[in-house]
Amino acid sequence: MASLTTDVLVIGGGATGTGVAWDAALRGFEVVLVDRADLSEGTSGRFHGLLHSGGRYVVKDPRAAEECIAENGIVRRVAADCIEDTGGLFVTTPFDDPEYADRFVAGCRATGVDCEEIPVAQAIRQEPRLNPGISRAFRVPDGNIDAWKTIWSMARGVTERGGRVMPYHAAVAIHRDGDEVTGARLRDTRSGEEVDVEARMTVNAAGAWAGRVADLAGIEGVRILPGRGIMIAMNHRLVNTVVNRCQMPSDGDIIVPIRTVSVIGTTDQHTEDPDDQTVMQSEVDAMLDDGEKLVPGFRRARALRVWTGVRPLFEDAKASDTDTRDVTRAHALLDHAERDGISRFVTITGGKLTTFRLMAEETMNAVCAQLGEDRPCTTTTQPLPGSEGGQHYRLGERLERKEQHLREEQLICECELIPRSKLEATLRRTGTMNLDDIRRLLRLGMGPCQGGFCIYRATGVLHGLDGLTAEQADEALLHFLQERWKGVWPILYGDQLRQARLDDWIFQGVLDVEHLPS
């Protein structure tokens, strides 16, 4: 069996784990980052894209609000290219308790969240689709953050500094030597091959799955309450500013404009299984009704896709078992040397994407303390690869770049403007045969046609690269089709059903993929 030796082994390739690996690499540690699937395939890649100002938590969870506003400022600097500075609004709709607004203002003041009340007319001018019945409006520094881009930037930074990033490697055992954790055994989920990693420190950053990783280490009582929520991407920027309802955080009270879509979220269902991706019809209906309250006519807009994310909420004695929204959004760092008498192992869970950097910093501080090393954190000032210029992402950037090469470059995905050269380079660099990995990297198949045109093209390109058999290409095609379907079938109505039917004609009627040789 192959084996590796490293300073720090990080289990979990979401924003937190990748952030820990990035922080560790910057402090000069050797690092190995592993995930059972692709990077960002868990909760980090399955949220609405909000870069929190903290406004949502100022009344309910002031500590989370304080963390958010502090991190918002830092992340804007170091991950500039991954962020669009849309700004945010909190608006009191006719459905909200008018008293809450004053508590909101007081909460912002107490927690340091920048907040400015603006005239309703000004808010409507800024966002003409907003419910004209709103009575108050507040401006906050919300934005959006592209989690995939953030995570892949940090992963690139880790590899550039000699670290190893190993997606599709599941931890199947945590090695213990008495009261010390010495590393883990990984299994390549694609080839089945196993590898032992010997590490000075092992970090459990498995998010909603952290309880399972802790179990592997023989540590009891790390209970994560998975709170499952759905999000629906609408096919347009119905708003260009993040819009929140000014009320206690609840279901369906936020619309985040990101890239070419706007995302409404979310619901909150307690689940025992972090892999639960159920979307209930009642949840979809509730989201659409909630959308109407913020943006009248929301139901007439086209829903593009729906997905579920699972919040990794660390259990707190104060929380009821059913409403996970009452658990603190702040994160939990468990130093198992202190907590369980087991050294060289820490767990970081809970929190939210906005605070990934802080979570990583605190985790690496704990790691350094256990190792007895004094290496300062530099993630507050070191920009992520690609963000050195300090410029935020602007909507239309991709089109602008594409237009410069309109005649020379063939587009494989017209919706997301992905040139053939870029697809080929990414396939070669990653060596993946999974088009869903490419979706996360390049946004392949994410646009209005939902892969109707690009899936066949991308499969052809994939097959044209060295060494891929027709069987592998067919598997990639069928897998991607099924993955796309997963995100659309619960929201098939109106134009999206029309699109799905056109895609049925292409894949089943013209290409007849159902009868590919097996």
Partner 1 sequence: MRSELHYDAVVIGAGVAGLVAGTRLAEGGARVCVLAKGVGSTHLAPGTVDVLGYAPERVDEPGRAVGELIAARPDHPYALIGIETIGEALAWLAERVAQGPLHGYRYVGGLERNHLLPTAVGVVRPSTLVPETMAGGDLRAGGPVCIVGSPVLRDFHPSLCAANLVRAGVDARSVELTFEVDRADQNALGLARRFDDPSWRAAFASQLAPRLQGEERVGLPAVLGSTDPHGAWSDLEERLGRRVFEIPTLPPSVPGMRLFEVLRSALRANGGRLVLGSEVVAAERADGRVVSVSGHASGRDVRYVAPSFVLATGGFASGAIELGSDWVTREQVLGLPLRGEPPAGEPRFVGEYLTEQPMARVGVAVDAQLRAEGAENVVVAGAALPGAVPWRELSGEGIAVASGHRAATVILSRAAAGAAA
Q: Which residue ranges make up the site for partner 1 (CB under 8 A)?
A: 288, 299-300, 303, 406-412, 420, 453, 456-457, 459-461, 463-464, 469-471, 473-474, 477-478, 481-482, 484-486, 489-490, 492-495, 497-498, 501-502, 504-506, 508-517
Least separation, in Å, of the C-beta of 455 and partner 1?
Answer: 10
Pick the closer one to partner 1 by CB: 191 or 282. 282
Within 10 angstroms of residue 353's Cβ, the number of other Cβ atoms is 27
Sign of CA dihedral 478, 484, 486, 490: negative
- Nearest residue (CB) to partner 1, 319 versus 516: 516
- Residue among 322 and 421 whose Cβ is closer to partner 1: 421
For the stretch 224-251, what's the b/e string if a residue is b when 16 or more beta carbons lie within 10 angstroms of its beta carbon? bbbbbbbbbbbbebbbebbbbbbbebeb
Sign (positive or negative) of CA dihedral 76, 145, 255, 349: negative
Q: Phi/psi at 195 (nearest 5 deg)?
A: -145, 140
Tokens 């997606």 appear where?
Answer: 167
In terms of CB distance, is 130 or 477 closer to partner 1?
A: 477
Nearer to partner 1, 312 or 452 (CB): 452
Q: Quote the least distance from Cβ 399 to partner 1, whole Å.
A: 14
Separation of alpha carbons 207 and 493, rounded Å: 34
Looking at the Cβ atoms of 165 and 411, the one nearer to partner 1 is 411
Minimum CB separation of residue 257 from partner 1 in Å reads 20
d(Cα 1, Cα 195) in Å, to the nearest integer? 6
As measured in angstroms, the least distance from the Cβ of 432 to partner 1 is 17
| Residue where the block lists tokens 């995100």 | 487
Residue among 114 and 483 whose Cβ is closer to partner 1: 483
Residue type at 514?
E
Q: Min. distance of Cβ 299 from partner 1 in angstroms?
A: 4
Can you tell me the distance from the alpha carbon of 34 to that of 14, in angstroms, rounded to the nearest whole number?
10
| Closest CB to partner 1 among residues 400, 514 | 514
Q: Decide: 136 and 95 in contact? Cβ < 8 Å.
A: no
Closer residue to partner 1 (CB): 51 or 412: 412
Q: In the bound complex, what is the minimum distance in angstroms from residue 485's beta carbon to partner 1? A: 4
Q: Which residues contact 306 (CB under 8 A, 6 or more apart)?
A: 230, 231, 232, 233, 279, 284, 487, 488, 490, 491
Least distance (Å) between residue 43 CB and partner 1: 21
CA 320 to chain centre: 26
At its nearest, how many Å lie between partner 1 and the CB of residue 138? 30
Q: How far apart are CA 35 and CA 10, in angstroms?
A: 9
Number of other residues whose CB lies within 10 A of the CB of residue 23: 29
- CA pair distance 146, 157, nearest whole angstrom: 17
- Nearest approach, Cβ of 343 to partner 1 (angstroms)? 45
Torsions phi, psi for 291 (to 5 deg): -60, -40
